[in-house]
Chains A and B, each alone.
Chain A
Amino acid sequence: MDISTVGFFALSAVLILFAILIVMSKKLVHSLVFLFMFIISMASMFIYLNAVFLSIAELIIYNGGIVLLLAIGISLMPEGSMGRKGMKYLIFIPVAVIVLLSFLASRYPASQASSPMNYSNLGMILFQNYGIILVVLAIAGVASLLSALYIVGERS
């Protein structure tokens, strides 16, 4: 078993562990912290699979957008709980995940220039083959933003 397979199994174990912790956590805030760790682990798995651009997008969109949005939503909910007892050990988990991520990113760098998975081609492929989908996606994005604003701002 080479180092590549060992790294894959280690990352898989971390992913499954965090997924189980997300589902099993009683408090939503704990689930959110585990989701944060899960996304970092998934980004490292994407780096392992040579999808560097997608891993960066995942980190920015999920950890910068969705987790923050969910944190704000949870803090607004009536029965929200922000207890922190018994979670001191969690500080070691992000450190371990980030060390693992750094190791994998240095051990398996981005795709080589000669590889067909070179992500400098991604923009060309996206806009040549899926241009219509991207336009529809942009319209859907504006529609969802406006609909969310309308729903939240509606007076009962």
Chain B
Amino acid sequence: MVPLSYILFLSVVLFAIGVYGVLSRKNGFGMLISAEIIINAALLNFVGASASLSSLSGASYALIILVMAVLEAVVFVGMLIAYSKKTSSVLLSKLRRFRG
């Protein structure tokens, strides 16, 4: 079993890559895919701590987060489809026209 610090470092690296992806993408689907990297980094954090501390609480939290991530993705995809019906695009930069 590797030390917990290695797992946390890997989680930080994945989180940073995901944040870069969310910030650099203009497409809504691209942002959602990058957000999945962030969620998986958080899951890795919980599972790593759970394995390191020999406790199932972290795995329980990870399971709950996993289900919440699915619900978030479902609503986000639904909103993107509704948004693309109105703007004929999924570029979130066009959200500015709805400002006000």
Interfacial chain A residues near B60, Cβ < 8 Å: 122, 125-126, 129-130
Q: From residue 119 to 156 of chain A, which have CB atoms closer than 8 A to chain B?
A: 119, 121-122, 125-126, 129-130, 133-134, 137, 140-141, 144-145, 147-149, 151-152, 154, 156
Say how far A143's CB is from chain B's closest CB, in angstroms. Answer: 8
Query: Across the interface, do A156 and B85 meet the contact criterion of CB distance under 8 Å?
Result: yes
Query: Across the interface, do B29 and A70 meet the contact criterion of CB distance under 8 Å?
Result: yes
- Which of A70, A116, A137, A141 has a CB less than 8 Å from the CB of B77? A70
Q: Give 1 or 0 for each of A10-25: 1 = CB within 8 Å of chain B CB.
A: 0010011001101100
Interfacial chain A residues near B75, Cβ < 8 Å: 144, 147-148, 151
Query: Across the interface, do B48 and A126 meet the contact criterion of CB distance under 8 Å?
Result: no
A90 beta carbon closer than 8 Å to chain B: no
Given known contacts A16-B14, A28-B33, is B44 in contact with A42 (CB within 8 Å)?
yes
Query: Across the interface, do B44 and A23 meet the contact criterion of CB distance under 8 Å?
Result: no
Query: Across the interface, do B67 and A61 meet the contact criterion of CB distance under 8 Å?
Result: yes
A51 beta carbon closer than 8 Å to chain B: yes
Interfacial chain B residues near A54, Cβ < 8 Å: 43, 47, 59, 62-63, 66
A66 beta carbon closer than 8 Å to chain B: yes
Q: With the chains together, A16 CA to B30 CA distance in Å?
A: 17
B86 beta carbon closer than 8 Å to chain A: yes
Q: With the chains together, A121 CA to B85 CA distance in Å?
A: 47
User: Residues on B close to A: CB < 8 A?
Assistant: 1-2, 6-7, 10, 13-14, 17-18, 20-21, 24, 27, 29-30, 32-34, 36-37, 40, 43-44, 47-48, 50-51, 54-57, 59-60, 62-64, 66-75, 77-82, 84-86, 88-90
User: Residues on A close to B: CB < 8 A?
Assistant: 4-5, 8, 12, 15-16, 19-20, 22-23, 28, 31-32, 35, 38-39, 42, 45-46, 49-51, 53-54, 57-58, 61-62, 65-66, 69-70, 73-74, 76-79, 115-117, 119, 121-122, 125-126, 129-130, 133-134, 137, 140-141, 144-145, 147-149, 151-152, 154, 156
Q: A66-B70, A73-B81 are in contact. List 20 more A-B contacts (CB 8 A).
A: A4-B1, A8-B2, A19-B18, A22-B34, A23-B18, A23-B24, A28-B30, A32-B33, A35-B33, A49-B51, A51-B59, A69-B74, A76-B84, A77-B80, A78-B88, A119-B59, A122-B63, A137-B67, A140-B71, A145-B74
